[in-house]
Amino acid sequence: MLVVLLSFVYKCCGFNPLQDLETLLRRRRTIRVIGFDDAPFSRLNKSGKVCIAGVVCADTRFEGMVWGEVQQDGLDATEIICQLLLGKKFLPQLHILLLDGIAFGGFNIIDLPLLSQTLLLPCVTVMRRLPNLQAMQEAIQQLPQSTQRLQTLQHAGTIYQYPPFFFQVSGVSPEVTFAVLQRLTDRGKVPEALRLAHLIGAAVVKGESGKSA
């Protein structure tokens, strides 16, 4: 309820951080992004909490971060991300939000269009490879409220292939998204905000970051 109320108030007051990303690209202006990834967790603890890190970057330069928790295999990931940003200092600065995959903490699936509409930001889920959707759907069907989860998964829409990126997007065209992802990636195929979120999450939970991000 709080998330919905804050979003409504911002819209009524004319607050809209949604920027024309195509214009920012053309003018070579800085793009501020937040990238979210979940930290390592034990899949044996089905009722546990999973930490998520949100790293803010100006292009590829680290500028800040947020930290939260979602329920493993829960239904609160979209709500928690909104709570971490609505009414907080980073949201007015942001031009785009990135997610490492469509689900955190197992199958806590993010409603991509709802996230974009609530935050008034283009939202993109970035994948390192094409997912096995059939396997995902079969696993989801073993969980409570599987119909709701499958509908949320479908809401994310088309998976676009713009090598080296695979992504789903709400709030901006795939062509502009691809150009933005290129700008936000220092090297390889992982935007820097997501790479840092992955490394920080692993370091906090395990005491050190992993070999890859």
For residue 86, the domain's CATH number is 3.30.2170.10
Domain annotation covers residue 136:
yes
Domain annotation covers residue 213:
no
Structural domains in the chain (count): 1
What is the pLDDT at residue 20?
85
Domain annotation covers residue 114:
yes
What is the pLDDT at residue 187?
83
CA torsion sign for 104, 107, 112, 118 is negative
Domain annotation covers residue 212:
no
Domain annotation covers residue 211:
no
- pLDDT exceeds cutoff 60 at 37: yes
Q: How large is the average pLDDT for residues 118-142?
A: 93
- The whole domain housing 176 covers 2-206
Domain annotation covers residue 111:
yes
What is the pLDDT at residue 6?
47
What is the pLDDT at residue 211?
65
d(CA 79, CA 3): 7
How does the average pLDDT of the chain come out, rounded?
Answer: 89
- Model confidence, pTM: 0.89
State the DSSP code for 70: E
SS (H, E, C) 87-156: CCCCHHHCCEEEEECCEECCCEECCHHHHHHHHCCCEEEEECCCCCHHHHHHHHCCCCCHHHHHHHHHHC
Domain annotation covers residue 133:
yes
Domain annotation covers residue 127:
yes
205 confidence band (pLDDT: 50, 70, 90): confident
Q: Which residues on adjacent β-strands are paired with residue 54? A: 36, 66
